Amino acid sequence: MGKINSLLLKTVASRPLPQAGPSLLWCRGWQQVFRRRLFIFPVCILFSLLITTSAFAASGLKEDVEYLSSVLLKGRGVGSAGAVEASWYVLRRFDAAGLKTQVASFKTADGVVGHNIVGIRQGNPKSASYVLVMAYFDGMGEIGGEILPGADANASGVAMLLALADSLAGARSNYIFAAIDGHNAGRAGSEALSKEPWKLSMVVNLDIIGSTLAPPNKYRPDFLIVLGGDKFEKQNSKKMDALNAGPRLRLFYDYYRSKSFTEYFYESASDQSAFLRKGVPAVMFTSGITLNTNKPEDTFDTLDYEVMARRSDFILAWLKTL
């Protein structure tokens, strides 16, 4: 593992505590109406905390996506100062989550140096096997003088990766979290990462996962596409449905009902492909390409963070079963 050069050093501002929202105000109003019924107040507080927790998860995802896709990072092109700052942002967050961090440097086919950021959590010292959870963080950078922010592609995946790393603190399983560079340079980062001598039981890839602009069913924008190979749906759909009781997403196990596109995105076009070639099972979670993908219009304010939070909840619940 190599050391990364610091081009930009910024302090990650601590997130403010959530303010009293509509749920708490609603409770206060009904508390006044039913002020003689003492059981109302604790029930309202519990209801408010549940709502606030969900909203705070969404706001945290939004905060990360907004920063990673900001003008400051200029699209996070491979080898750029913006990509280096993004890698430092992830590294600081992994450190804060208590992960054992590493930086793995590599070169693309064009000789550009990229950096994979790795965080390891060993929750089960008796096992040598790990689940790898990954998302690429580099973007398209600037083209023709225009910045391609890459909010959905793939600041959304990185934001979810960071949320999962935080949420799995104290888990009794072994996880490796990896923010991958070089996706837009022939997936050089995942190719390099696949050569690490880890014993992997599963690879989980978060690839463009924040939008509701292109649902396979127009009546269900709260969806998630789960690609795991030919037998995955048959072997796992009942388990997935049970885990989905809370998030209540519309799950799809193919890419817009196209066998050829499903095979292409699962086996060739995304970062899990390097691991599939080595015989490691992998699952890709995505919300699909939209008309904004790899364009200046892919900005943080076009994503649906409430649905993204529900997707994160579902994936978290599934990861805990591995």
Q: What's the pLDDT tens digit per position in 87-136?
A: 999 999 999 999 999 999 999 999 999 999 999 999 999 999 999 999 99
> Which domains can be identified in the chain, with CATH numbers?
51-319 (3.40.630.10)
pLDDT band at 288 (very low <50, low <70, confident <90, very high): very high
The pLDDT score that the predictor gives to residue 272 is 98
| Coil, helix or strand at residue 144 | coil
Look at residue 150 and tell me whether its pLDDT is greater than 90: yes
d(CA 56, CA 305): 10
Cα 11 to chain centroid, rounded: 22
Q: 2-6, 160-164, 205-209: which has the minimum mean pLDDT?
A: 2-6
Cis peptide before 154 (omega within 30 of 0): yes
Question: Which segments of the chain does DSSP mark as H helices, in order?
Answer: 22-33, 40-68, 81-96, 156-167, 188-193, 232-243, 259-267, 273-276, 305-319
Q: 52-66, 212-226, 233-247: which has the minimum mean pLDDT?
A: 52-66
Are the beta carbons of 154 and 210 closer than 8 angstroms? no
Nearest to 169 by CA among 13, 319, 11: 319
Nearest to 50 by CA among 77, 80, 26, 78: 26
Average pLDDT over residues 305-312: 98
Look at residue 25 and tell me whether its pLDDT is greater than 90: no
User: Model-level pTM?
Assistant: 0.84
